[in-house]
């Protein structure tokens, strides 16, 4: 089979590898669509930890084409979305229910024509969701998992800073979880339009509009109930904390650079009784995220471009362009 191998920087090679064979309890998946994650773009830019050579791709869907011993062959032909990581089940992290802390985790790699994984990691795609759109399950699960860490307040005003995929899905799921008003702050007009199409109540350009004034007007000066920083910039984290009301929730779902220092006045956090949470990984939210995707209006428009595997370098260049939203790879085209 063909695989795309990251060689460092913006360099990729298309290589040949033996076709994988499913072992006991596993399935073989012919990859249909794999999304390029922002962390993978940042890896090629030296902004996120990663060591080449590496086969990327953890946001993918496909069709089951073979099954290992112990798996019912009748599932062959089913479309699935992949939970890309599976855990040992025995380490302290696993026993505590913290799958993202497993020290023995293994991962499937979607930037290839085929991938193998445990059958339990291959989630059947609902009939009203196509294979390409379902590739949003993994990043969507990360957003949903973060929002499920707390109860959405009644009549909540939610601010989402940034309208990349993580910001867009955070905004959409906040609305589905009962937020009364969702504000999306994003400087790129095309992304603001997508946020509105997904159900955001207000969109604002922070470069030209008065975000703080808008929030003061909407909340009588108290601040938002929930502020989600979805870009990964310490200055925006600082602003999110400032715009959150007493006893509000600040969600850090964007990936700040490694080594960043929390830009907060600890007395202020104490005095206003703020809850500040990091949100990393899909946790136990994958199945619910896939189901909720069917309830998000216009969700199929988030993936704006798809490239064949041989054009992976161009795909990553496109993904690094802030004008786009979500770029995907089609390994079998």
How many percent of the chain have pLDDT more than 90? 90
The overall average pLDDT reported for the chain is: 95
Domain spans of the chain, in order of start:
2-136+302-330, 143-278
Cα–Cα separations (whole angstroms), residue 293 to 1, 56, 86, 144, 182: 31, 24, 22, 11, 18
pLDDT tens track for 275-285: 999 998 888 89
Residue 228 clears pLDDT 80, i.e. is over it: yes
Q: How confident is the model at residue 205 (pLDDT cuts 50, 70, 90)?
A: very high
Residue 269 clears pLDDT 80, i.e. is over it: yes
**How far apart are the C-alpha atoms of 123 and 293, rounded to whole Å?**
14
**Residue 258's pLDDT is what?**
84
**How far apart are the C-alpha atoms of 175 and 312, rounded to whole Å?**
34
| Whether pTM exceeds 0.85 | yes
Q: Are 2-136+302-330 and 143-278 the same fold in CATH?
A: no
pLDDT tens track for 48-83: 889 999 999 999 999 999 999 999 999 999 999 999
Provide Rg for the chain, Cα atoms: 20
Which CATH architecture does the domain made up of 2-136+302-330 adopt? Alpha-Beta Complex (3.90)
Residue 323 clears pLDDT 80, i.e. is over it: no
CATH class of 143-278: alpha beta
């Amino acid at each position: 089979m063909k695989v795309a191998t990251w060689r460092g920087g913006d360099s990729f090679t298309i290589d040949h590898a033996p076709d994988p064979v499913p072992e006991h309890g596993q399935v073989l998946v012919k990859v249909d669509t794999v999304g390029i994650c922002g962390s993978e773009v940042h890896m090629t830019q030296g902004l996120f930890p990663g060591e080449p050579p590496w086969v990327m791709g953890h946001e993918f869907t496909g069709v089951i084409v073979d099954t290992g011993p112990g798996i019912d062959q009748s599932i062959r032909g089913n479309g699935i979305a992949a939970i890309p990581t599976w855990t040992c089940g025995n380490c302290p992290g696993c026993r505590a229910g913290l799958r993202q802390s497993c020290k023995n985790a293994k991962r499937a790699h979607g930037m290839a024509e085929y991938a193998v994984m445990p059958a339990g990691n291959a989630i059947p795609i609902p009939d009203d969701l196509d294979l390409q759109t379902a590739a949003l399950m993994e990043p969507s699960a990360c957003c949903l998992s973060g929002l499920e860490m707390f109860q959405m307040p009644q009549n909540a005003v939610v601010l989402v800073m940034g309208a990349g995929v993580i910001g867009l899905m955070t905004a959409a799921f906040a609305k589905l979880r009962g937020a009364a008003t969702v504000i999306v702050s994003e400087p790129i007009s095309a992304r603001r339009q997508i946020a509105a199409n997904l159900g955001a109540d207000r969109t604002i350009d922070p470069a030209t509009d008065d975000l703080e004034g808008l929030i003061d007007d909407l909340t009588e000066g108290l601040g938002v109930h929930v502020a989600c920083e979805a870009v990964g910039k310490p200055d925006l984290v600082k602003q999110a904390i400032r715009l959150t009301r007493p006893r509000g929730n600040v969600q850090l779902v964007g990936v700040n650079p490694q080594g960043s220092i929390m830009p907060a006045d600890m007395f202020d956090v104490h005095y206003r009784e703020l809850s500040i949470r990091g949100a990393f990984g899909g946790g136990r939210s994958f199945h619910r995220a896939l189901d909720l995707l069917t309830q998000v209006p216009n969700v199929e428009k988030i993936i704006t471009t798809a490239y064949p595997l041989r054009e992976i370098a161009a795909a990553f260049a496109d993904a690094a362009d802030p004008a786009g939203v979500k770029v995907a790879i089609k390994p079998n085209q």
